[in-house]
């Protein structure tokens, strides 16, 4: 997994550029259900299908849950400022939580 997907089309320099609109990752272990695909793009890979978008905060909440961490928890900084582990309102992806 990376911080960006890659453009569905090859650029003039015969490469692919960063593409934050859609990207793919594989999760395994941690008690997650295997063999699942969650979300999809349009046939040309340019847009996320509206019927099941998956957000980065939800993805991070899923990882927290798989690691046994509470995604709603906040850590305290050295100056007493609460810092969320995952954005408020993020929910683990139910289809892959065992």
Within a domain: residue 11? no
Within a domain: residue 9? no
Within a domain: residue 63? yes
pLDDT at 69 over 90: yes
Q: Which whole number is the average pLDDT over 42-67?
A: 89
* Residue 96 pLDDT class (50, 70, 90 cuts): very high
Task: Let me know: does 59 contact 75? Beta carbons within 8 Å.
Answer: no
- What is the span of the domain harbouring residue 67? 26-98
User: 12 or 53: whose pLDDT is higher?
Assistant: 12
- pLDDT at 94 (0 to 100): 92
Within a domain: residue 16? no
* Phi, psi angles (nearest 5°) of residue 59: -60, -45
Q: Give the global pTM.
A: 0.79
Q: How far is CA 61 from the centre of its chain?
A: 9
Within a domain: residue 33? yes
Within a domain: residue 51? yes
* Residue 85 pLDDT class (50, 70, 90 cuts): very high
Q: Nearest-CA neighbor of 45 among 89, 10, 14?
A: 10
Residue 56 DSSP label: H
Number of domains, the chain: 1
Task: Let me know: does 59 contact 3? Beta carbons within 8 Å.
Answer: no
């Amino acid at each position: 997994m990376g911080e960006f997907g890659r453009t569905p089309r090859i650029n003039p320099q015969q490469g692919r550029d960063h593409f934050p609109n859609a990207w793919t990752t594989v999760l395994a272990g941690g008690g997650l259900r295997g063999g699942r695909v969650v979300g999809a793009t349009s046939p040309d890979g340019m847009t996320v299908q509206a019927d099941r978008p998956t957000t980065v905060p939800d993805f991070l909440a899923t990882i927290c849950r798989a690691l046994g961490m509470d995604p709603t928890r906040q850590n305290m900084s050295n100056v007493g400022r609460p810092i969320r582990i995952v954005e408020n309102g993020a929910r683990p992806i139910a289809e892959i939580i065992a």
